[in-house]
Amino acid sequence: MSSSPPRAKGTSGATVGYNALRQATVEGAKENLVGFSISGLATYVQIPELDLCLDMGECPLSALPLDHVFLSHAHGDHSRCLMRHYSLRRMTGIERPAAYYLEADLVERARDLVRAEARFEGTPLAKLAMPDFVGLEVGAEPVPLAWRKDLRIGAFRVHHSIPAIGCTVYDHKRKLKEEFAGLPGPKLAELRLEQGVEITREILEPRVSFCGDTTIKGLAANPQIWKSRIVVVESTFLEPGEEAMARHKRHTHVTELVALLKELGPELKSETVVLSHFSMKHTPAQILALVAQAVPEELRERVRVLI
Ligand SMILES: [Zn+2]
Ligand SMILES: [Zn+2]
């Protein structure tokens, strides 16, 4: 007989009436982050400056102009509005095809989902238009975003109940190679134009990391994410005593996250760490109070909540 999982003890005793279409802005973040994230209901984080939406558990109209969508894993609360995004863009006359980034192993299954939905609706498969899925390989070189060549996206493995990945979005820049530093402009131009010398090198500056659903193990295995200016992490469990349940359900508890951030010390370069994916049993006021209780003074400047 398998042992039964520990049961959640609700603070409010009932689920709270959340509306996933009603988006919140992350206060105090240097980037404009707008979205919604409640465990089991929906997660999506829109970053208009990057023309990007992280996960698509719901698709408010404000997501339609965004040309790039990243999916962390196949759970419905993170992925179920992928086709809604695709279809509504077409319906509202947005001609530019959006690009959907997901783990390479999921691409064929995503196509199966599109075909199944077409069959359900009675659309002949011959008339079916397929979204542009871009498979990301874990640990591979970051790839350019389809419509933003100044940005790159790369994937890393996290640890959840099904295969799941996080992503880092980088600013892609070119910098003068050290050996040419100090040379006058005309000389550099001559080297570059007349002699065909490559005088710059590529640099990638990590801007945003998004971790989807993961245990603390998945975060600890990816110390590079804390170099990003902004990191969005899940913090599903908040109440003292729920640590074992967090591990059992393959999610993160806020005290584990705080311990990890403290352990990082000066390695924590991120200006903003956004907590998300809270349990729907808490009201927003309870979430804010539980986070405030768990986050020590020295981290308060950086830690924000998506609620
Ligand atoms: Zn989730
Ligand atoms: Zn999940």
| Cα-to-centroid distance, 78 and ligand 1 (Å) | 6
When pLDDT is averaged across residues 8-23 and rounded to a whole number, the result is 68
pLDDT for 240 beyond 60: yes
Q: Which comes out higher in pLDDT, residue 15 or 150?
A: 150
Would the pLDDT of 295 be above 90? Answer: yes
Ligand with an atom nearest the CA of residue 235: 1
CA 146 to centroid of ligand 1, rounded, Å: 26
Residue 266 Cα to ligand 1 midpoint, Å, equals 30
Q: Ligand 1 centroid to 13 CA: how many Å?
A: 21
Examine the pLDDT at 34 and tell me if it is beyond 50: yes
Three-state SS at 99: strand
Please give the CATH superfamily to which domain 24-305 belongs: Ribonuclease Z/Hydroxyacylglutathione hydrolase-like (3.60.15.10)
Separation of CA 208 and ligand 2 centre (Å): 20
CA–centroid distance, 213 to ligand 2, in Å, is: 5
pLDDT at residue 113, rounded to an integer: 95
pLDDT bracket for residue 30 (50, 70, 90): confident
- Distance between Cα 212 and ligand 1 center (Å): 7
Instruction: Give me ligand 2 centre to Cα 183, in Å.
Output: 53
What pLDDT is stored for residue 17 in this prediction?
Answer: 85
- Cα(72)–Cα(185) distance, rounded to whole angstroms? 45
Whether the predicted pLDDT of 10 surpasses 60:
no
Residue 59 CA, ligand 2 centroid: distance in Å: 18
User: Ligand 1 centre from 129 Cα, in Å?
Assistant: 28
pLDDT exceeds cutoff 70 at 4: no
Q: What digits encode the pLDDT tens for the residues 248-292?
A: 999 999 999 999 999 999 999 999 999 999 999 999 999 999 999
pLDDT at 39 over 80: yes
214 alpha carbon to ligand 2 midpoint, in Å?
8
Q: Where are the domains of the chain?
A: 24-305
272-276 sheet: strands from edge to edge: 143-145, 148-157, 165-176, 200-210, 230-234, 272-276, 303-305
Look up residue 140 and give its DSSP letter. S
Contact 12, 30 (CB under 8 A): no
* Per-residue model confidence as pLDDT tens digits over 166-221: 999 999 999 999 999 999 999 999 999 999 999 999 999 999 999 999 999 999 99
pLDDT the model gives residue 27:
79
**Calculated CA dihedral for residues 252, 21, 153, 302, nearest 10 degrees:** -50
Find out whether 85 and 132 touch, Cβ atoms under 8 Å.
Answer: no
* Contact status, residue 96 vs residue 57, Cβ threshold 8 Å: no
* Ligand of minimum distance to the alpha carbon of 160: 2
pLDDT at 166: 98
Mean pLDDT, the chain, rounded, equals 93
Ligand 2 mean position to 228 CA, how many Å? 23
Q: How far is ligand 2, taken at its centre, from the CA of residue 159, in Å?
A: 10
What is the pLDDT at residue 9? Answer: 44
Region 26-48 average pLDDT: 91
**pLDDT tens, residue by residue, 96-134:** 999 999 999 999 999 999 999 999 999 998 889 999 999
